[in-house]
Amino acid sequence: GNSVTQMEGPVTLSEEAFLTINCTYTATGYPSLFWYVQYPGEGLQLLLKATKADDKGSNKGFEATYRKETTSFHLEKGSVQVSDSAVYFCALSNPPRPGGGFKTIFGAGTRLFVKA
């Protein structure tokens, strides 16, 4: 079945450090891939997405490239800020099947702490 595996946290970085959060997936077909972010005390928000191989999603300085050959969608940011402290979820959504549904599958989440 489909699954998403993220690196375990927490990840603790100093401000302006480089961030990578690894995400790999297992899926049949050609899923869409997403990163969601959950800031403290809030619900989830979409951070970025990619819908096909080699697509790069980007938002707020974060980037992730859909790598079909390595089944990965690693999240990167060149210089993190304290305000980036949050939990980050990698997710995939497979296309709808005829007569059936689909669902979004989430990784376990990776908590990021950024120190000033």
Partner 1 sequence: DGGITQSPKYLFRKEGQNVTLSCEQNLNHDAMYWYRQDPGQGLRLIYYSQIVNDFQKGDIAEGYSVSREKKESFPLTVTSAQKNPTAFYLCASSITGTGSVRAFFGQGTRLTVV
Give the residues lining the site for partner 1 (CB under 8 A). 6, 32, 34, 36, 42-46, 49, 51, 89, 91, 93, 95-96, 101-109
Task: Please report how close the Cβ of residue 2 comes to partner 1 at its closest, in angstroms.
Answer: 12
Asked if 62 and 42 count as a contact pair (C-beta separation under 8 A), the reply is no
Cα gap 109→99, rounded to integer Å: 31
Task: Please report how close the Cβ of residue 31 comes to partner 1 at its closest, in angstroms.
Answer: 9
Task: Please report how close the Cβ of residue 45 comes to partner 1 at its closest, in angstroms.
Answer: 7
Could you give the C-alpha distances from 66 to 37, 52, 59, 108, in angstroms and in order? Answer: 18, 7, 15, 19
The pairing of beta strand 11-14 with beta strand 110-115: parallel
